[in-house]
Amino acid sequence: MASASNRVVKIAAVQAAPVSFDLDKSLEKLTKLTAEAAGAGADLVVFPEAFLSAYPWRYAFDATIGTREPRGREWYAKYYDSAVAVPSPAVDIISKTAKSHGVYIQVGIIEKEGGTLYCTALLIGRDGSVLLKHRKLIPTAAERLVWGRGAGDGLGVVQTDIGKIGTLICWENYMPAARMALYQQGVEIYLAPNADDLPSWVASMQHIAKEGRCFVVSVNSMCRVSDFPKDYPPFTAEHHDRKPDGSKWEPDDIINHGGSFVVGPLGVPLTQPVWDKEAIIYADLKTSEVIESRLDFDPVGSYARPDVFTLTVNTKPGTNVNFTR
């Protein structure tokens, strides 16, 4: 994409909910939606944070300071069972789907390694190969109770035939140094899978696109109570959790409103945020616009001051300890 060609790249941002806590059915949904997007001509299909196979809305697995309840441990085990190891048969299905349709797929997964879960973005190439595995550096708020922390080895930007692709997950996008790490690598298609449906998020995505002089794909899920198991604790009658108005949750109640959209490298939306429905949002990215946008501002070029600022990224893997005898 760095050349000033007029090539057009088609992006598909999939605003959909997983079949929460059911990996097989969530994979079926991914396969179906990818086929639909590929049939519409997409080069890159992007799924939300934790699509495989649950963002555990409104549940901290019964963990409080000093206490963990047995029910929470049981649900953590269910969550673990619906998570994805890398490599695994689940990854093979994603890879086969990408290869059969000749598309790039990025999907948010809950990754399991050992007994720990990670919030991860997995980028798969047209040939089915794993191009990037990025673990969320800092889980947000109560997410820290159930997800481990990522490391700098996932802060990569991948050169592809459609441009340089990089990703940060949800509130990692509020980490200036993390964004700069992608800018330094020349990111052109910046993927932002998230679980944030606040109005302020829209402004943040526009700012990042304009700051990084890159295309930004913000993709969120839209989910309802009915997307979760009937016995999922936050939405059961005996649980203390209630809607803001104090009433009980109903199957059709919306938990996450979505708001997925795509922004151009001058911060101008290419699509408008989509709310309260599942949809595939398509956008045509004109590759020449990346270079055009850098005429007057380039965060690591004309506007860089390496004599004043430096950024060092530790790209070593995480601190997991391997014991040998």
Looking at the annotation, which residues are catalytic?
49, 136, 170
Q: Could you tell me the two tokens for 58?
A: 């409104």
**Residue where the block lists tokens 């790249």:** 9
> In angstroms, how far is CA 246 from the centroid of its own chain?
31
Structure tokens at 210: 């304009």
Q: Determine the Cα–Cα distance for residues 260 and 251; give it in Å rounded to an integer.
A: 23
Complete edge-to-edge strand list for the sheet that includes strand 189-194: 157-160, 163-167, 189-194, 215-220, 258-263, 274-275
Which H/E stretch holds residue 183?
helix 176-184
Q: Which two tokens stand for residue 112?
A: 């399991």
* Tokens coding 34: 């990818």
Q: Where are the alpha helices (DSSP H) in 7-146?
A: 23-39, 70-81, 89-101
Nearest to 255 by CA among 203, 195, 199, 205: 195
Residues 6+ apart with CB under 8 A from 225: 235, 249, 250, 251, 252, 253, 255
How far is Cα of residue 146 from the mean position of the Cα atoms in its chain? 17
Q: Which of 246, 222, 251 minimizes the C-alpha distance to 236?
A: 251
Please report, as a single letter, which amino acid is at residue 194: N
Cα gap 104→119, rounded to integer Å: 20
By CB atoms closer than 10 A (0-12, 13-18, 19+), residue 78 is middle
